[in-house]
Structure 1
Amino acid sequence: MKLIVNADDFGYTRAVSYGIVDAYQTGIVSSTTMMCNVDDLEHPVQLAEQNPTLGVGIHLVLTSGSPVSENVPSLVDGNGQFFRYDEFLKNIQSLESEEIEREWTSQIERFFSTGLKPTHLDSHHHVHARKEIRPIAVQLAKKYGIPLRRVNRETSSGGIYGPVKTTDVLFTDFYKDNVSIDMFETLLLKSVEKVQTVEINCHPGYVDEALVKKSSYVYQRLKEFTVLTSPELKKRIQQLNIDLITYRDI
């Protein structure tokens, strides 16, 4: 089995970005996805350039910070900020598809402007998994010819991806109270000898003041980092003959 361990939120804050890179250099993280609507995009870009074998994709955003493009009124609150996740769900029926596509295109183009080549697309809070938004993500993946994170853990996608590459399975269970070596191994054992490619997404990181101000998921990132860099987990992966890959390899 081939495994992608993708750290979401690259670029969210400097501490998060440093933690992701260290989890790659000393642990089992093989891939990450960059938030392209952040103010300091130069920092994660520099880290990506310094670690060329780290897979770096695009973490499409609709629920954090402000948009890259202009005139997307259905996507923002009265302060011009993206809706927080709870408010986003309340307003999802009133979001304009054209504005989502234009905003995500702007985020993708900003990534390309750095000179990096994205490995794949996924999204903050998995918003591309919503049935109202998923066709937009699939269409953009087709347009740019890059893989897309699948939206569920089933091995059958019902043909929704067409020619777009994705893994056979995605697990999102390694989160909050389920962050442990045993949980990670449980997810692996569900898939070994059953499917060819699996993604487990995660959120390792260090903590800084910016993270405390912006996120409700703060010190749990340190716990994830500890698990993902533990020698015991690396040993278990080796014992299961699992190959760590990126989306470049699917």
Structure 2
Amino acid sequence: MKLVVNADDFGYSKGVNLGILEAHVEGIVSSATMMMNMPGVAHAFRLAADTPTLGVGVHLVLTCGSPLEANVPTLTDENGMFRRGQAHLEDVSAEEVEREFTAQLETFFRSGRKPTHIDSHHHVHARETILPVVLRLAERHGLPVRYPWAFEQAAERSHTTKVHTTEGFSHHFYGADLTADGLIAIIEGLSGSATAEIMTHPAYVDEELLKGSSYAIPRARELQILTAPKVKEYIKLKKVQLVNFNEIG
């Protein structure tokens, strides 16, 4: 099996960035996706430039921080920040979403890199109102997209025929009760797929993360597990190939 172990939220803060880097260098993380609108993005780009073995894609954002585009009123609150939560996403303007996502992707391209793939913060790309926009952008740029069928809001598979993704996906490595054995069980459960992805969120917990995210302390536990000798030994024993989205074809 070719397995992408992706660390979400690259660029959120320096603590998140350094945790992701360690989970790659010392552990099993093979890929990360970058939040183009967050304060740690320049730091993330510097780390990525020094670490060419880490695949880096774009973590499209609609629910955290501020937009890169001006005049997107269906996406923002009275302070010009992205609205929190997801209830409003049923009524957002698809044109505003496309302009904002285009701005996020173009900001990445201006770094001189091509992203390995697209996914999204809080899985917003799986929503019926947003998935067509993401698929259109993915086709335009020739980019794979995180498996969108794992979430309740996902559209039919027939909508994604032209966009490459993995055969399997797990978002279950998440929460306060994570263990190395639990991660191994997730990997084992994906073993029937030729290609698969596991979503992760390793980090060193810093002030920005504590203030801004409801999911903070467990990220340090994720980092510990993703670098655990037991997990690395299992990967080696089972001959799992750790890859990024450029290598899943």
- Normalising by the residue count of structure 2, what TM-score does the alignment of the two structures yield? 0.95
Q: What's the offset of the Cα at 1:210?
A: 1.1
Aligned to 1:20: 20
Deviates more, 1:205-214 or 1:38-47: 38-47
Question: 1:178 offset after TM fit, Å?
Answer: 4.5
Output the CA distance in 2 between the equivalents of 1:24 and 1:97: 35
Which range is displaced more, 129-138 or 217-226?
A: 129-138
Q: Note the residue ranges of structure 2 that are not aligned, 5 or more in a row.
A: none
Q: CA deviation at 1:62?
A: 0.2
For 1:40 and 1:204, locate their aligned partners in 2 and report how far apart those are by CA, in whole Å: 15
Residues 209 and 67 of structure 1: is their aligned pair in 2 closer, same or farther, counting only changes over 3 Å? same
Match of 2:208 in 1: 210
Q: Figure out how many residues of one structure are paired with residues of the other and give that number.
A: 244
Aligned partner of 2:47 in structure 1 is 47
Matching residue's letter, 1:64: C
Residue 147 of structure 1 corresponds to which residue in structure 2? Answer: 144
Q: Give the one of 90, 95, 110 matched to 2:107.
A: 110
Q: Post-superposition shift, 1:240?
A: 1.5
Q: Is 1:230 paired with 2:228?
A: yes
Cα RMSD of the aligned pairs, angstroms, is 1.3
Gapped runs of 5+ residues in structure 1? Answer: none
For the 8 Å contact 2:205–2:217, the answer to whether it is kept is: yes
TM-superposed CA distance for 1:158, in Å, is 2.5
Q: Give the match's secondary structure for 1:160.
A: helix
Preserved CA contact (<8 Å) 2:6 2:199? yes
> Quick one: which amino acid aligns to residue 14 of structure 2?
R
Q: Does 1:93 align with 2:98?
A: no
Distance in 2 (CA, whole Å) between partners of 1:178 and 1:31 is 23
Which digits, 9 at most, give the CA deviation of each residue in 1:189-246, with x for residues without a partner? Answer: 2222x21001001000001111111111111110000000001000011111211000
Structure 2 CA distance, aligned partners of 1:90 and 1:45? Answer: 32
Q: What is the percent sequence identity of the aligned residues?
A: 45
User: Which of 128, 131, 135 does residue 131 from structure 1 map onto?
Assistant: 128
* 1:72 and 2:69 are equivalent in the alignment: no
CA change 1:14–1:109 in 2 (3 A) is same
Deviations 1:89-132 (A, max 9, x none): 22122200000000000000000111121000000011101112
CA drift at 1:153: 4.0
Contact 1:152–1:169, Cα closer than 8 Å, also in 2: no
Partner of 2:5: 5
Q: Which amino acid aligns with 1:221?
A: R
- The Cα offsets for residues 47-105 of structure 1, whole Å up to 9 and x where unpaired, read as 000001100000000000000011100000111000112xxx22122200000000000
Matches within 5 A, 1:159-174: 159-174=158-173
Amino acid at match of 1:151: P
TM-score normalised by length of structure 1: 0.94
Cα distance in 2 for residues equivalent to 1:174 and 1:73: 34
